[in-house]
Amino acid sequence: MKTIFRKKARALRRKGLSYKEIREKIDVSKSTLSLWLRDIRLKDEYRKRLYTKQIEILSRGTMCQKERRRREIDGIIESAKKEISFPISEEAYRLFGVALYWGEGNKRRDFGITNSDPYLILFMVGWLKRVCKIEPSILKPHLNIYSQQDDLALKRFWSELTGIPLANFGKSYVKPANKGFKKNNLYYGTMHIYVPKATNLLHVVYGWREAVLQNLKNTVNFTERKWISLKETPRPANLQENKNKPL
């Protein structure tokens, strides 16, 4: 029986079949086939077919892995969403806005926030109205855009999204064309929203943040005092200014 299998395997190999295809017809191990068939050199046309088939298998494997990972991520996100209870409490809503402002808002002088994400901007406009009683109609926005983008169309997009009147938009900052364009195109530009006469609001939000972090204050203060020398590091020289100075 072994001799019969060997002869059949060699005949199939000479016809250009892969080890896998041969094993589907003959019940033998891959190592046995390797031993039986190692002296057979395939014709170029057969070698080309097997090479192409192997590339297709590898390609499908990569795609399958990506698809499997995508489904895993979708499952994680859906599971996490179920952990949030609705309706969200007023306290949670207020502090979520505080956290976003802490990460994306101005920290000095005026009260403003800058971002390119429509979700974040729309949330903060709604947060200002609901929590701070500031209507969209008084907000003063402006955009940072690239030279190839349509300034008026982008203003209309953000105006429609947020309810801020188009007339409130200031002059956009157009970034000059250079080699430094980001690879991830900011399709809607970057939106900056400024709240007029809201210096006190900046302090109120800071106070809310301080209340949340008060249990960390002693630890931070102690560690900062211990590493006070870090604040004594001199600032780097302004190379551009020095470049313009006469020698």
The backbone torsions φ and ψ at residue 115, rounded to the nearest 5 degrees and listed phi first, read -170, 165
**Is 233 part of any domain?**
no
Residues of the chain with confidence (pLDDT) below 50: 183-184, 246-247
Between CA 10 and CA 17 the distance in angstroms is 10
The pLDDT assigned to 128 comes to: 96
Quick one: which of 172, 180, 176 has its CA closest to 148? 176
pLDDT value of residue 246: 47
Instruction: Kindly provide the residue ranges of all beta strands, DSSP E only, lying in 8-48, ordered along the sequence.
Output: none
Asked if residue 243 is part of any domain, the answer here is no
In terms of residue numbers, what domain contains 38? 2-76
Same domain, 101 and 216: yes
* pTM listed for this prediction: 0.65
Task: State whether 98 and 30 are in the same domain.
Answer: no
**Phi and psi torsions of 114, nearest 5°:** -130, 130
- Looking at the fold, whether 95 and 54 belong to one and the same domain comes out as no
In a domain, 44, yes or no: yes
CB 131 within 8 A of CB 91: no
Return the H-helix or E-strand segment holding 131: helix 118-132
In a domain, 218, yes or no: yes
pLDDT of residue 237: 66
What domain count does the chain have?
2
Would you state the pLDDT for residue 247? 45
* Longest CA span, the chain: 95
- pLDDT on residue 17: 85
* Confidence at residue 61, expressed as pLDDT on a 0 to 100 scale: 64
Per-position b or e across 147-174, b if 16+ CB within 10 A of its CB: eebeeeebbebbbeebebeeebbeebee
